A = this chain, B = another copy of it.
Amino acid sequence: MPLDLTATSIELTRQICDIESVSGNEKELADEIEQALKRMPHLEVLRDGDLVVARTRLGRARRVVIAGHIDTVPVNHNLPTRLTTEDGVEYLWGRGTVDMKPGVAVALKLAAELAEPSVDVTWLFYDHEEVTSDLNGLARLARTRPELLAGDFAILGEPSNGAVEGGCNGTMRFDVVTRGRRAHSARGWMGENAIHKAAPVLQLLSDFVPETIEVDGLAYREQLNAVLVSGGVAGNVIPDECRIHVNYRFAPSRSTDEAEAAMRALFEPLGEFELKDLSPGARPGLDDPLAREFLDAVGLEAKPKYGWTDVARFSALGIPAVNFGPGDPSLAHADDERVETRQITACEDALRAWLQ
């Protein structure tokens, strides 16, 4: 059944959540989005891999980019979606109901509905946001067809509890690798146990107290976590390697060089340091006139964004950008991911009011 862009944004959220689209598996959903938008005569629709762009070409003085990623983290027994009501509050449960299919649904609905918005709009639905940034669909477009990202202001529909969130923390991923020497585990003293050597690395992570840093009036809370660990060869072999994959989220006041230097200083005494991924944060950028106009129209104060989002990519292209989307970001990626459905409608109404 094709997507029904005239359905309510809640209903549409549910439809697109129930099309599983874990990173790497976005094709079906991208096909549906492309087909649905191609039926709208006021939109020019382009496809790049599993990224879909739909643009108005009204010749308005200003162009706004409204973007959202269509992939999710892996499903964990939380699809298909289900709807519940608790004390009169309605929730939609399931993978993607926060991060970030409601934002995508609102954009899809308004893209179809608003044939003559007050500004030109580039609607952007992209792939591979939940994985390493070299796969990111938005980054790919910025490299290969940057003209499609041109605009005066950008709104990313990432979950922000319906608030406007400015800027974002930077994010860095690296491995700390401890090494040893293989031997049969019956004669362990002939080898050197790499997993045992990881103890001080985990202890450091466990003891670390992250900072909270104020940038342009917004307070950014940092985070340092081991997210993956692996090591060992077989049940009877002393392991010769242990690899701890660490994620550092740092305030946008730190440069990527500063962030890297801080992590190297901490971990290099304990193991080999292998940088995997490093993306700068974005300062809030809320002094831009279009940003102020948008804040006034939706009647909200800006807050800091904790998670790294692709607003930083717009920021790097010189385009002021904010996050504005339904859903509590603290429930993103959680097994009990769920959205209060009235947030979806509220976002839809606010965006529509501003764009009309």
Q: Is A231 on the interface with B (CB-CB < 8 A)?
A: yes
Q: How far is the CB of A303 from chain B (nearest CB, A)?
A: 13
A306 touches B228 (CB 8 A): no
Q: Is A236 on the interface with B (CB-CB < 8 A)?
A: yes
Contacts of A213-247 to chain B: CB distance below 8 A: 221, 223-239, 242, 244-245, 247
**Number of this chain's copies in the complex:** 2
Are A306 and B237 CB-contacts (below 8 A) given A195-B226, A196-B202?
no
Q: Is A55 on the interface with B (CB-CB < 8 A)?
A: no
A237 touches B232 (CB 8 A): no
Closest B-chain residue to A240, C-beta based?
B335
Q: Report the separation of the CA atoms of residues A280 and B171 in the bound assembly, to the nearest whole angstrom.
A: 50
Which of A4-12, A144-152, A177-185, A289-297 sits within the interface?
A: A177-185
Q: How far is the CB of A130 from chain B (nearest CB, A)?
A: 7
Q: Is A199 on the interface with B (CB-CB < 8 A)?
A: yes
For chain A, what secondary structure do more than half of its interface residues adopt (helix, strand, loop), or is it mixed?
Answer: mixed
Contacts of A291-350 to chain B: CB distance below 8 A: 306-308, 329-330, 332-335
Which residue of the partner chain, among B187, B223, B224, contacts A223 with CB atoms under 8 Å?
Answer: B187
Which residue of the partner chain, among B171, B182, B196, B199, contacts A334 with CB atoms under 8 Å?
Answer: B182
Closest B-chain residue to A242, C-beta based?
B229
Are A184 and B332 CB-contacts (below 8 A) given A189-B221, A202-B196?
yes
Contact with B along A3-29 (1 / 0, CB 8 A): 000000000000000000000000000
Q: Is A188 on the interface with B (CB-CB < 8 A)?
A: yes
B235 touches A185 (CB 8 A): no
B198 touches A205 (CB 8 A): no
Are A245 and B235 CB-contacts (below 8 A) given A206-B197, A308-B186, A335-B182?
yes
B74 touches A223 (CB 8 A): no
Q: Is A35 on the interface with B (CB-CB < 8 A)?
A: no
Q: Is A136 on the interface with B (CB-CB < 8 A)?
A: no
Q: Is A84 on the interface with B (CB-CB < 8 A)?
A: no
Q: How far is the CB of A61 from chain B (nearest CB, A)?
A: 36
B230 touches A333 (CB 8 A): no
Residues of B within 8 A of A355 (CB): none
